[in-house]
Every structure is written in structure tokens, then in C-alpha cells.
Structure 1
Amino acid sequence: MDTLVVPVRHSPFGTLTPLTARQRNGTRVGLAYSSIAALEAVQPAQPWIRLSEGALHALLSPLGVGTIQIDPQLIVADVRSTAPHRPICV
């Protein structure tokens, strides 16, 4: 796979941050999609950038995120937590 479609959020300072989520077991993962269509099927209107898998790993590894979930089928809010929106990928 040459490049991935990576969902991002914009910070108040104008930087882009790749989105992460937690698996059901609590493990934090990076999110990426194999195509724009795959991303839009799960997260319509989500801002995104293209990154190589290696570049995404390099961005996430200092945060302790060692796994990238490619084409997750469902992203939901963690309703068990009182903290702000924590996405869970399935």
C-alpha cells in the first residue's frame, strides 16, 4: 500500500493531528483508510490527509501508539466514559 487516507483534526494552532481511537480492549490505535471512499463510508465529511504507513507510524509511535487500524468499519463514542468524546473502533 503506497499511501493511506488518514483522518485528521485541526488544532486551534492550525496544525493537523491524525485521529486515534481505542479498541474494545483499551489499546490505542491509529486510524487509516485504503481509499477516500472507505473513509467517507464510515466518517462522512471528515478532514483527511494522505500519508505513507511509515510516516503515520513515525507520528504515532512517540505517543505510544504502535498499531494502525486500516479500514475500521465502525467508529463510536465511548459512552462509558465521562471524559470528552473518545472514539472506539470496531
Structure 2
Amino acid sequence: MADILCGEDPEPSERFPAGPLFVPVRPGPSGCVARIFRTPLGDRTAVGFTCESSLIATLGPEQAWIRLAEPALRALTEPLGIATVTVDPQFTARPASPASPASPARPARPARAARPTCPVRPVNTVVPAPAPRVG
């Protein structure tokens, strides 16, 4: 059997940083929080995209994002027990919705307001908690 040269190895043994990534985020109690996803086998993974158009094509134009280097994303998610970073995932499933054929048809829901965007803040900035909603 011929030895595989490093350039021919489909999965190199050394990990190389992917560079600055577009990381999907959601609003959290102290600002932005990186979204964590699941692999097809159910393991938790951090996700990053190499370009904004890939993120939009996969998660939609309403998805908020920040730029992070791949080592920074790993450092951010490692304390949560997440050791995997998936770069440029090709497939995402739609959110599960209950489908019961016996239930009567419901009236259409009004359109939701656009999601708030998460501004990028310096690491040492303290962000006050949002005021509770009344009503």
C-alpha cells in the first residue's frame, strides 16, 4: 500500500485555524451569545461560516452574527464541553413544529417583528440587563 502524502490526506491530522469566521449569535442576558447547534448524531457543536453569504444561505437573512477567529470560538465553547467547530455546514433542518391532523385549523398568526441585532461589544464592556417587559 502506498504511503499517503500530507497534501493528499483528505483529513489532515493537524488542525489549522479556519481564520475569521461569521459566527451566528442570539441575544442573551448580557449581550450576544454564540448559537450552539447539533450534529446529525446529536453532539453539540459550535458553527462558523467563512463568508456572510454562506451564513445567510443556511440560516436566513435575519440571523445575527459576529466575527470571531476559530481559536477564539473554540476557547469560548470549550468550557461548555463543546470541542467541535463545524465550518460552513451545508444542511440545517427547519425547527420542529407540532403537526396534529386532528386539531382544527388555526387563524394565521400576525407577522413577527424583526429580531434584534446584537452589536459587537469589546470584551470588557459591561452590558446592563434589559428592563422587564410590561404588558
Asked if Structure 1 and Structure 2 have the same fold, meaning a TM-score greater than 0.5 normalized by the shorter chain, the answer is yes
What does residue range 1-90 of structure 1 map to in structure 2 within 5 Å? 1-11=18-28, 13-44=29-60, 45-77=62-94, 79=96
Query: Greater CA deviation, 63-72 or 14-23?
Result: 14-23
Larger Rg: 2
Give distance in 1, aligned partners of 2:23 and 2:55.
8
Cα distance in 1, alignment partners of residues 30 and 83 from structure 2: 25
What runs of 5+ residues in structure 1 fail to find an aligned partner? 80-90
Distance in 1, matches of 2:84 and 2:38, equals 11
Higher relative contact order (CA 8 A, sep 6+): 1
- Aligned residue pairs total 78
1:47-88 C-alpha deviation (Å, 9 max, x unpaired): 000000011001000000001111111222564xxxxxxxxx
Task: Structure 2: give runs of 5+ residues left out of the alignment.
Answer: 1-17, 97-135
**Deviation beyond 3 Å, 4+ runs, structure 1:** none
The CA RMSD over aligned residues, in Å, is 1.4
- Taking structure 2 as the reference length, the TM-score comes to 0.54
Identity between Structure 1 and Structure 2 (%): 35
Q: Which structure carries more strand by proportion?
A: 1
The TM-score with structure 1 as length reference comes to 0.79
CA-to-partner distance for each residue in 1:11-41, whole Å, 9 max, x for gaps? Answer: 1x24111111111212111011000011001
